[in-house]
Structure 1
Amino acid sequence: MLRLPGAGPDRAATRTTSRPVLSRPARPARRRPALAAAGLLAVAALVAGCGLQLPLAGHADDGGAVVGTEPLSELEPIADPRAWTGEITVGTPERPVDPVAENPQPALPATVTDAQGTEVTVADTSRILALDLYGSLSRIVFELGLGDSVVGRDVSSGFPEIAGRPLVTSNGHELTGEAILDLAPTVILTDTTLGPWDVVLQMRDAGIPVVVLDSHRSLETSADLARATGEALGLPAEGAALAERTETAVDDTLAQVAELAPADPAVRPRVIFLYVRGQSGVYYLFGDESGADSLIEGLGAVDAAAEVGWKGMRPLNDEGLISMQPDLVLLMTGGLESVGGVDGLLEQVPALAQTPAGENRRFVAMDDTEILSFGPRSADVLDALARAFYAPESVS
C-alpha cells in the first residue's frame, strides 16, 4: 500500500505490481567504477509489491510491474522522497531490438586479447552464443545486427527476439555443456558471472573460440561492453556506434534524473540494495564497488552502505543495517518473492523495522534480469527507478 504525504485512506488503493584488449578502455569516469563480478557469481550460485493506483500515466507489464510512460522531464517530483509510504514494483518498457547496422559484415578473422589475458581468434560468427547473468551480452549482439546468428540463450535473455532460441542454462544460471555443444557454436562470448567454470574450459578444449569479457559492471561500463563485444565479433565500428548510443542515452537520462532529485542533499533518500534468496537463506547487502553503488548514485540518492564503508557484497547483519538507517530499500523482484513479499522480508530481517525504510514499507523492486544489467537498457533502468524514487504516483 503506497501512501503519499497528505493522502487519506480514501486515496489509497492497491496494485500488484595493434590488437584490441577487451578490458575497460581508459576514459574519464562520471563516478567510480564497479562490479565485483566474482562476488556476484558467488552470490548467484547460492542459489509484487502493492502500491497506489492513481489516474496518472503508467501501465503494468505482464509481470505485474508498473511502467511509466510520460517523459521524466514532465513529471512533478514529490516534495520529500523520504516521505511516501508503500511498496512499488517497477519495470522498463518493452523495446524492440534496434540494430545499429542492418546485415553487418564482420571483418574476420578478429584476434583479441580478452579480459583474462587470453588471446582469442574468431574466424566465424555464423553461430554465436552470448551468455551472462543478466542477458546483457545477447542483447548487445542483437543490437549490433547479428541477432540472426545467435543460436541459443541463457535464462536471463528473455527479450522477444531471442525468446524462441534453445536454453543452454539449467537450474537457474548453470551452464550446460551438452546443450552448448549440441548447438555447435562457432564462437562463445561470456564473462565470469555464469558457471561452473569447468564448462567454459570444456568449450575451449572442444576447439570453440571463447571470449571472456570484462565482468565489472556499472553505468560507466555499459558502453565499454558494447565496444568490446563489437571488437570480438569483427564489428568494431558497429560496437563503437552502439557504445555511443548507449552512453548518450545514459547521459541524457542522468541529466533528467538530476532535475527530479532534490537539490538539497539533506533531503535525498538514503538507499540500500539487498540481494535476498529466501529459499537458500541468502541475505546480502551490496555496498561500495558492487555495481549497486553506481546505480544508486546515478539516481541522485545516497548510497547508505557505501557511506559507512560497506565494501562489495557481504552477508547482512543487524548492527550494520540499523547503523545505515536507509530511507528506501532497492531489491530484485525474484528476491522479494522468495521471502513472501515485504511482510516476509520484515519477518526474516526484523532489524529492517528499525529503519525508516522498514517503518514505512518503502521498498522498490525491479526484475532480476534488469536492475543490475548495465547494458543497452541502462537508461531505461535509470528512468524507471527514478520514477519510483521521486514521482511514485507516476508508476502507481
Structure 2
Amino acid sequence: MKKTGFLFLALLTLITACNSGAKSEDKKEEKVEEKRIVSLNGSVTEIIYAVGSQKELIGVDVTSTYPAAAEKLTNLGHVRKLSVESLLALNPSHVVMLEDEVSPDLKSKLKQAKIELVTFKHPNSVDEAKSLVKEVAKWLGKAQEADEVVAKIDADIKGLAKLDKKPKVLFVYARGAGTLMVAGEKTPLEKMIVLAGGENAGKGFVDFKPLTSESVIAANPDVILMFTSGAQSLGPDGIFNVPGVSTTNAGKNKALIQMDGQLLSGFGPRVAEALTELNKEFKKIK
C-alpha cells in the first residue's frame, strides 16, 4: 500500500507540474506585446496620453507640445520635413498620423521597413474631434477611457456661457509681417469662434486670404484672435501697427486674444478647453 501511495503521489505531482507548465505557456501566448509608437500629430499624441497609453509612445513630431511630458520624447520635427532615417532609428512598431499628411516617400519607406502605418481622418469640428478620440482609443484598446474623455468634452461645452452680445472676431495667421492671412467662412477657426459665442468678422470669402488694410477696415472686428506664436512673430503690439488695424474697434481698444495654436486649432481632446478659454475672453469684450 505504501508503495502504491508513493506512486500515486508522484504521478499527481507530475500531472500538476505539467498543468502548471501548460498554464504558463497559455499566459505567454495571451500576453500582448506593447507597441512602440511614433506619433506625427499633436492631437493624436494628446489622445494617447489622455487614455493612458503614453508608455507605448517613443517619438513625436513638432506639434506634439502637450502634455509637457511629450516634449521629453525624441522630437522628429515637422511631419513634412522629418528625416525618415531618424524615425526608423527609433525602431517603432507603428507610426500614427493624419491621413492627409502622409508623403509617398514616408509611406514607401515604412512599408519597406515593415513598420505599420496607422492613419486617421483630419478633424475640423467638435464632432470630428470626438470621433478621433474614439478611433485612436479603440486602436489602442482603450474604448472605455475614450468614453470618459468624450463625456468631459460634452460637459464642458454645455458649461459655456451665453453672451449677451456676439463680438466680431477676426482670426489673423501671422509668420512675421510678411505673412498675414485672415480666416474666412467654412474654416475650422470660424467654427471655434462661433461655438465660443462670437461672430466671424471674415465674411464674403472661403478659407484664408491675405490681410489688406481695406479688408480689415471693412471687417471692423471688435477683437483680433491670433496664435501666440504668430502674435510674437510681429513683436509687442505688432498687429496694431499693421495698416488699417488701428482704425478698427479692435485697434482702438487694443483688443487682442492670443492662444496656443495646437489648443485652438488641434481639435483634439482639449477642444472644449479651448472653447471655454475663448468664451471667457469673449465675455471681457465691451
Identify whether the pair has TM-score above 0.5, normalized to the shorter chain: yes
Aligned-partner SS, 2:275: helix
Q: Structure 2: which 5+ runs fail to align?
A: 1-29
User: Does 2:277 match 1:380?
Assistant: no
SS, match of residue 273 in structure 1: strand
Q: Kindly indicate whether the alpha-carbon contact (under 8 Å) linking 2:133 and 2:150 is maintained by their aligned counterparts in 1.
A: no
220 and 323 in structure 1: CA distance in 2 versus 1, 3 angstrom threshold: farther
Q: Which of 118, 124, 148 lines up with 2:55 in the alignment? A: 148
User: 1:188/1:362 Cα in 2 relative to 1: closer, same or farther (>3 Å)?
Assistant: same
The DSSP-based 3-state class of the residue aligned with 1:389 is: helix
Residue 336 of structure 1 pairs with residue 231 of structure 2 = yes
Q: Aligned residue for 2:168? A: 270
For residues 123 and 186 of structure 2, the distance between their equivalents in structure 1, rounded to whole angstroms, comes to: 9
**Which whole-Å CA distance do the structure 2 matches of 1:195 and 1:386 have between them?**
34
Amino acid at match of 2:73: R
1:169-207 deviation per Cα after TM superposition (whole angstroms, max 9, x unaligned): 16x973221221011111111015757663344323432
Which among 205, 208, 212 is matched to residue 119 of structure 2?
Answer: 212
Q: Which residue number in structure 1 is paired with residue 83 of structure 2?
A: 176
1:129 aligns with 38
Distance 1:124 1:275 in 2: 43
Match of 2:74 in 1: 166
Give the Å deviation of 1:299. 0.7
Asked if residue 346 in structure 1 is aligned to residue 214 in structure 2, the reply is no
Distance (Å, rounded) in 2 between the aligned partners of 1:284 and 1:201: 34
Pair 1:327–1:200, CA change in 2 (3 A): farther
Alignment gaps of 5+ in structure 1: 1-107, 109-122
Q: Find the aligned partners of 1:323 and 1:217 in 2 and give their Cα distance.
A: 27
* TM-score, length-scaled by structure 2: 0.79
Amino acid at match of 1:364: I
- CA–CA distance in 1 between the matches of 2:263 and 2:115? 29
Residues 285 and 315 in structure 1, CA contact (< 8 A), matched pair in contact too: yes
Q: Tell me the CA shift for residue 371 of structure 1.
A: 1.6
Instruction: State the distance in 1 between where 2:51 and 2:152 align.
Output: 16
* Corresponding residue of 1:298: 195
Aligned length: 254
Quote the Cα distance in structure 1 between the aligned partners of 2:99 and 2:218.
33
- The one-character-per-residue Cα deviations of 1:84-108 (angstroms, maximum 9, x if unpaired) are xxxxxxxxxxxxxxxxxxxxxxxx9
Q: Secondary structure of 1:284's match?
A: strand
Q: Distance in 1 between matches of 2:270 and 2:87?
A: 26
Query: Deviation per CA, 1:91-135, whole angstroms, max 9, x where unpaired?
Result: xxxxxxxxxxxxxxxxx9xxxxxxxxxxxxxx9652011212xx1
Normalization by structure 1: what TM-score? 0.59
1:303-326 CA distance string (max 9 Å, x none): 121xx2321123223333222211
In structure 2, distance between residues paired with 1:200 and 1:357: 46
Offset at residue 341 of structure 1 (A): 2.8
2:110 is the counterpart of 1:203: yes
Residue 231 (1) aligns with residue 128 (2): no
Query: Is 2:206 aligned against 1:311?
Result: yes
Cα distance in 1 between the residues matched to 2:72 and 2:213: 44
Letter in 1 for 2:72: G
RCO higher in 1 or 2 (8 Å CA, sep ≥ 6)? Answer: 1
Q: Is 1:256 paired with 2:156?
A: no
Maintained 8 Å contact 1:222/1:247: no
Is the CA contact 1:141–1:147 (under 8 Å) kept in the aligned structure 2? yes
* C-alpha distance after superposition, 1:51-84 (max 9, x if no partner): xxxxxxxxxxxxxxxxxxxxxxxxxxxxxxxxxx
Corresponding residue number in structure 2 for 1:96: none
Runs of 4 or more off by more than 6 Å in structure 1? none
In structure 1, distance between residues paired with 2:179 and 2:120: 27
Change (3 A) 1:257 1:154: same
Q: CA deviation at 1:337?
A: 0.6
Query: Which structure shows the higher helix fraction?
Result: 2
CA distance in 1, matches of 2:208, 2:105: 24
Q: Is 1:359 the counterpart of 2:252 in the alignment?
A: yes
Q: How does 1:60-79 map to 2 (within 5 A)?
A: none
Aligned to 1:247: 150
For residues 271 and 203 of structure 1, the distance between their equivalents in structure 2, rounded to whole angstroms, comes to 43
